[in-house]
Amino acid sequence: MTGQTVWLGIGFLGQALFSARFVIQWLASERMRRSVVPHAFWWFSLAGGVTLLAYALWRGDPVFVLGQGLGLFVYLRNLMLIRKHRRTAAA
């Protein structure tokens, strides 16, 4: 297996993780019968974003790097807010 093949696999894995978050959000909303954003949505966003960022860096694509890099801050911040809310609710 060549290095390029491995990186293509990483790129496809990142895209699959990133796309799975929409399926997770859709299924959660259908179950609740209203629009919801489950905790897993943000974890899949983060995992897909990190993986796609690695792929974008390997490709040397500055547009792709910027897009994925900035998104990571949003995903991390949402996970931090969820954690803070859960700690406050448990106290």
Supply φ then ψ for residue 58, to 5 degrees: -60, -40
Radius of gyration of the chain (CA): 16
By residue range, what is the domain housing residue 37? Answer: 3-14+21-90
Using the predicted structure, report yes or no on whether residue 1 has a pLDDT greater than 90: no
Residues 78, 42 contacting (CB under 8 angstroms): yes
CA angle 91, 78, 7 (to 5 degrees): 135
Query: What DSSP designation does 35 have?
Result: -
Count of structural domains within the chain: 1
Per-residue confidence band for 28, with pLDDT thresholds at 50, 70 and 90: very high
pLDDT, tens digit, for every residue of 65-90? Answer: 999 999 999 999 999 999 999 999 99
